């Protein structure tokens, strides 16, 4: 068995607006500045999100929140690190991009105390290829790319185990790495790469395990293009995350209620056709 870890790409805030998300970048006070100046309506929320589907869902609830006196400002990020750092440092009020296992791992590794406000949806994780049409066609020694963050990398390996391609050691958890593989009959070569880059290198590997938000951004249809995909029982629910000091604010409660409304459930079902599944 061969494996190698590629260095993570430096996370960054994208300056490109995703057309599908209709995300508006506006000059805003940070939460710290609002507290200091008192110059901005206290019912303003700044939320960090990855483009698809998170920012799109936030944009969908924005008009409803405005009717309730909450001005929602969505900031689009393309990585899985800065959104948590920005919330912890009070540059953002909340974020919407991750699942609970990732948040737990982040808090443990960074010493932060970010908390879950509510769960919203599941994005079933999938395996994709531009070279084969079935996992049965995967050759010995094939190159398999997986995310290099602990929880999503482990999630990828668990899916490969479910598909019968590998067997993990008995003590393996959701943070498993290629070192935890006990049996690899096809001698698959694993490359661990930053999650956002995986769709872009799809033609350079034999198989890539891709988070659904990045698959959707790349024009992939998880329900049609994935060679294997998680079921609806997946525990990886995308969550709205805030800090202990603001998780119970009235504005945050209104946002949580909007994200778990029947309108959002209908929007998710219609917009994503099974690629994203409501979790409420």
Structural domain boundaries in the chain: 31-123+236-278, 125-229
Distance CA 215, CA 226 (A): 9
E strands, the chain, in order: 2-5, 44-49, 71-76, 94-99, 115-122, 126-128, 143-147, 167-168, 181-183, 189-193, 207-210, 228-229, 237-242, 277-278
pLDDT in tens, the chain (280 residues): 444 444 443 333 333 333 333 333 334 555 655 544 333 445 999 999 999 999 999 999 999 999 999 999 999 999 999 999 999 999 999 999 999 999 999 999 999 999 999 999 999 999 999 999 999 999 999 999 999 998 899 999 999 999 999 999 988 778 899 999 999 999 999 999 999 999 999 999 999 999 999 999 999 999 899 999 997 677 899 999 999 999 999 999 999 999 999 999 999 999 999 899 999 9
> What distance in Å separates the CA atoms of residue 24 and residue 21, rounded to the nearest whole number?
9
Is 31-123+236-278's fold the same as 125-229's?
yes
The domain at 125-229 falls in which architecture? 3-Layer(aba) Sandwich (3.40)
Global pTM exceeds 0.85: no
Burial of 183 (0-12, 13-18, 19+ CB in 10 A): exposed
Which residues lie closer than 8 Å to 77 by C-beta, 6 or more apart? 11, 13, 14, 48, 49, 50, 83, 97
Q: What CATH code would you report for 31-123+236-278? A: 3.40.190.10
Q: Kindly give, in sequence order, each residue whose CB lies less than 8 Å from that of residue 138, ignoring residues fewer than 6 positions away.
A: 132, 165, 186, 188, 206, 207
């Amino acid at each position: 068995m061969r494996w190698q870890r590629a260095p993570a790409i430096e996370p960054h805030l994208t300056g490109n607006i995703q057309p599908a998300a209709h995300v508006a970048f506006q000059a805003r006070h940070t939460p710290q500045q609002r507290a200091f100046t008192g110059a901005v309506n206290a019912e303003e929320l700044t939320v960090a999100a990855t483009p698809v589907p998170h920012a799109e869902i936030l944009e969908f609830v924005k008009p409803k929140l405005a009717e309730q006196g909450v001005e929602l400002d969505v900031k689009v990020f393309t990585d899985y690190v800065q959104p948590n750092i920005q919330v912890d440092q009070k540059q953002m009020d909340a974020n919407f991009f991750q699942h609970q296992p990732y948040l737990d791992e982040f808090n443990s590794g960074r010493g932060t105390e970010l908390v879950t406000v509510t769960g919203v949806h599941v994005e079933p994780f999938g395996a994709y290829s531009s070279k084969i049409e079935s996992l049965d066609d995967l050759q010995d020694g094939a190159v398999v790319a997986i995310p290099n963050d602990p929880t999503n990398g482990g999630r990828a390996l668990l899916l490969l185990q479910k598909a019968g391609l590998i067997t993990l050691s008995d003590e393996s958890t959701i943070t498993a790495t290629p070192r935890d593989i006990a049996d690899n009959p096809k001698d698959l070569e694993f490359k661990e790469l930053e999650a956002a880059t995986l769709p872009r290198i799809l033609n350079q590997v034999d198989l890539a395990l891709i988070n659904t938000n990045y698959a959707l951004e790349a024009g992939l249809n998880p329900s049609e293009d994935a060679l294997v995909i998680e079921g609806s029982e997946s525990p990886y629910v995308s969550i709205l995350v805030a800090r202990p000091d603001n998780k119970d604010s009235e504005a945050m409660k209104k946002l949580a209620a909007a994200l778990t409304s029947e309108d959002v459930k209908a929007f998710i079902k219609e917009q994503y056709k099974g690629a994203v599944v409501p979790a409420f």
